[in-house]
Every structure is written in C-alpha cells, then in structure tokens.
C-alpha cells in the first residue's frame, strides 16, 4: 500500500503506514519527505503522485481494518486443539509468547505425527505469524524465461539428462512484454526472473534483460538463474537486480552430492557473498528427498535462518517420471506443513513461501499453508504457452490457468482469510474483489 515518507537519511527512508513506521532502502532520488511511495521487499519502488494516493489511501485504511478483523476472527474460529502432552503444550505456549525453541525442541516439532499435535502446531504457528507480521501476505510474480539447463540434477524435470522435454527460450522482448503485463496490468511490485542454468544467457544478456525490465517497470527484480560468477551478480546488481532466488536444496553434503548438485560448500559460499553484496536472498530446501531425516530438515531451516534469508522457500520433493527418482514417494502434506510451522517457530518474523510444488501436492495446500505459518505467495506470470514446458515436476499447479484467473482466485482466498497482498495494487481489484 502507499506509505508516506517521514524522513530520509542517506539511502534509508522512514515510511509511515497509518501510524506504523517502517524503514526502507532506496536507490531513487525523485522523492522527498512528505511524498508517498510504494515499498516492496524493503526497497522503495517508486513515488506516487499525491492526487493518485488520496483515494487509494481512503480505500486501504477502511479495507485494512476489515481484513485484520477477518484474519483475527478466522484464526479464532478454528477450534484450539487440545494437547494431552504437557511438554508439547508448554513448548507451544512459550513459543506463542515469543520464546524461540531450542534445537532439541524444534526437532521434536518435526517428529510430530498425531493429528491433534500437528493441528496444535499449525494453530500456534499461525498465531506467531499474526503476532509478528499481522495480516500482510507478500505476493511476487515469476516469469520462467528458459527451460534449458546445463545441470544434471537427479530430481529435476528440466535437467540436461531429460531428452524428451521440448525446450524454449524467451527473447528479451518477450520477457519485457511479460513483465509489462504483470506490472502495468496487474500491479505487481516484485518479479522473479527464473530459468535453468542456461549458458545461452550470458552475463551481458542477463544484464540487458534486467535493464530492459527496469526501464519498462519500476519493480524489485529477483534473479533465479542458478549459480553464476560473483562478477555476474555484481553486474546484475549494478543493472538494477536486488534479489536472488537460489535454494541450496539440502544442507546435508551427501544428499546434495547424491542429487547431482556438486559442491554444497560453493553454493553456501555464494549465498553468503550475495547477501554481503546487498542482495535480498530467497533460499531453502526440498522436503522429502530420499535419505533425508528430520535432523537434516532442521539443519535446512537453521541454515536458511543463518544465511539471513529474506524469504524461506521450503517445498515438497515431487518425483518426475523422466528422472532417476521417478519411483520415489513425495512427502505427505502434513510433513510439509510441519516444516513451514517449525520454520515460523525458528524465525518468527520470516517471510515463508507457499511453493507451487505444495499447491501441486495438495489442491488446498495454499490455504493450509497460510493457516500454518506461511505468509508469501508466487503467481506465475510466464506466457501461458510456455508454462507446461517449465516442468521441474509433473502436473504443476496453475500451468493452464490464465494470469487474470489465478490472480482473481488468489485475491478471493486472501480476502476470505483476511490477508492483504503487499505487491498487488489496490487499484487492480483487491478492494472490490475483481
């Protein structure tokens, strides 16, 4: 929503939202104290003319009050699960009051299997989410611009080992067109530009893509192009990229190696360097990889926290028929939700993503996750004719759904839960439900 600039010091601005003050970074110079701006992912995206702001703020002020009330009432309407295990009840109570559980306690949460205990875990994680982040829900767009990949990961359908996949690459013009539609027609303020590790897109091409999108759209750009050189990421940052989506997939070096990923240490080192450069990091792991234990999953959560991730991305492993893991089993949704909830306990103020893989695993997975501690979504803004081809796993959710329809259904769900999307403009239909 629009915020009013209260102060500027260097590249840090203090923004007011109906009495709540937040800090944001800015590379922009065209705004001053007293102006109104949009902020996304901690960055000032653009200044908003005052004549556009006043009617928008009037709608937001009323709507935010109603949404927060719905969020509270919806959460309270869920019967608070009764827990007979006193030790677990005490752990949940102390976490709800703000105490971070110990490593041993977090591990115990990941081992829960009985429905009443899991329901209590989800209920508490949702309460922590509400306490720390109110009803905000981060909604990014994602454009998958190439399914070529030089890597040979054992779990991935776009691996170079899959000869049966029809490959595609979007031109810079096609990428910019998709970004323009997402930003100007639907109000996205943050976009993830994703591809396989495709050497066709040289450093120079990637820089050209970022510059072209930034010229057309004032948005926060996250790059998801696999492991590239530090020099490449420096160039991309200079061109205007401000975030990187790069999951480490497993903190267990053996599992990482078994999955065909190479050297885990180099990926972790890259993530640390990217954050030190100023990038916002989205990272995390797969849940349910063969040989994975609860302790591995806990290490994944704690590593994500240690890396200072802007967003935690944990999704289920879904076996692809054209990989060596075709006969492996995906994890149950209860396990995936338990991981999201445990991540909320470990990092109470984290942005925790509902992955498309979770929505593919369970058609109601998005709602279940949002009621289990998650508070972020991604919407696929890839041109419809290419979505099926970005086949990391089979039967991917939303691949045949037009962007307008997915946004409408997302808005409907968020309104029903009392959540406010933080990068789909109110003028794009959230207030009136269109």
Strand, coil or helix: 409? helix
CA dist list (Å): 336 to 65, 72, 113, 143, 288? 32, 24, 12, 25, 9
pLDDT at 49: 87
pLDDT at 343: 98
pLDDT over 80 (residue 69): yes
pLDDT over 80 (residue 77): no
Q: Burial, 154: exposed, middle or buried (Cβ in 10 Å; 0-12, 13-18, 19+)?
A: middle
Length of the chain in terms of residues written: 434
pLDDT at 423: 63
User: Structure pTM?
Assistant: 0.92
User: Which pLDDT tens digit goes with each residue over 238-292?
Assistant: 999 999 999 999 999 999 999 999 899 999 999 999 999 999 999 999 999 999 9
How would DSSP label each residue in 63-94? HHHHHHHHHHHHHHHSPPPP---HHHHHHHHH
* Domains, the chain, ordered by start: 3-69 (2.30.30.140), 132-426 (3.20.20.70)
pLDDT over 50 (residue 431): no
- At residue 119's C-alpha, the angle toward residues 311 and 344, to 5°, is 20
Report yes or no: 146 and 198 within 8 Å, Cβ to Cβ.
yes
User: What is the pLDDT averaged over residues 121-147?
Assistant: 95
User: Which pLDDT tens digit goes with each residue over 410-421?
Assistant: 999 999 999 988
User: Which pLDDT tens digit goes with each residue over 216-231?
Assistant: 998 999 999 999 999 9
Average pLDDT of every residue of the chain = 93
Tokens of 32: 């001053």
User: Which pLDDT tens digit goes with each residue over 166-224?
Assistant: 999 999 999 999 999 999 999 898 999 999 999 999 999 999 999 999 999 989 999 99
pLDDT at 129: 97
């Amino acid at each position: 929503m629009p915020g009013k600039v209260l102060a500027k010091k260097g590249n840090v601005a203090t923004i007011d939202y109906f009495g709540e003050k937040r800090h944001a970074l800015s590379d922009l110079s065209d705004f001053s104290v007293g102006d109104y701006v949009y902020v996304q992912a901690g960055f000032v995206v653009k200044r908003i003319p005052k004549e556009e702001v006043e009617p928008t703020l009037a709608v937001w002020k009323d709507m935010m009050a109603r949404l927060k009330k719905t969020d509270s009432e919806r959460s309270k309407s869920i019967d608070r699960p009764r827990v007979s295990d006193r030790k677990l009840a005490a752990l949940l109570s102390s976490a709800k009051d703000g105490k971070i559980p110990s490593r041993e306690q977090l591990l115990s949460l990941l081992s829960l299997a009985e429905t009443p205990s899991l329901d209590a875990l989800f209920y508490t994680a949702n309460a922590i989410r509400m306490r720390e982040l109110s009803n905000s829900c981060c909604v990014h767009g994602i454009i998958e611009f190439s399914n070529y990949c030089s890597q040979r990961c054992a779990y991935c359908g776009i691996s170079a080992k899959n000869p049966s996949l029809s490959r595609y690459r979007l031109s810079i013009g096609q990428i910019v067109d998709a970004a323009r539609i997402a930003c100007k027609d639907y109000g996205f303020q943050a976009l993830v530009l994703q591809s396989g590790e495709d050497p066709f897109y040289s450093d120079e091409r990637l820089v050209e893509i970022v510059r072209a999108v930034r010229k057309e759209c004032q948005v926060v750009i996250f790059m998801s192009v696999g492991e590239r050189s530090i020099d490449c990421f420096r160039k991309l940052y200079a061109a205007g990229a401000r975030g990187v989506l790069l999951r480490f997939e497993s903190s267990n070096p053996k599992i990482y190696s078994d999955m065909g990923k190479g050297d885990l240490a180099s990926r972790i080192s890259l993530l640390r360097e990217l954050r030190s450069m100023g990038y916002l990091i989205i990272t995390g792991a797969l849940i349910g990889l063969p040989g994975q234990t609860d302790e591995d999953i806990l290490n994944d959560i704690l590593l994500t926290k240690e890396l200072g991730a802007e967003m935690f991305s944990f999704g289920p492993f879904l076996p692809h028929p054209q990989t060596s893991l075709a006969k492996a089993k995906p994890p149950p949704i209860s396990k995936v939700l338990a991981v999201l909830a445990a991540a909320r306990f470990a990092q109470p103020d984290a942005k925790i993503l509902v992955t498309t893989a979770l929505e593919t695993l369970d058609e109601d997975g998005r709602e279940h996750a949002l009621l289990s501690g998650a508070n972020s979504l991604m919407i696929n803004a890839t041109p419809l004719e290419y979505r099926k081809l970005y086949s990391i796993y089979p039967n991917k959710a939303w691949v045949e759904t037009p962007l307008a329809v997915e946004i409408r259904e997302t808005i409907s769900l968020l309104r029903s839960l009392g959540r406010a999307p933080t990068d789909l403009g109110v003028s794009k239909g959230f207030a009136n439900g269109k």
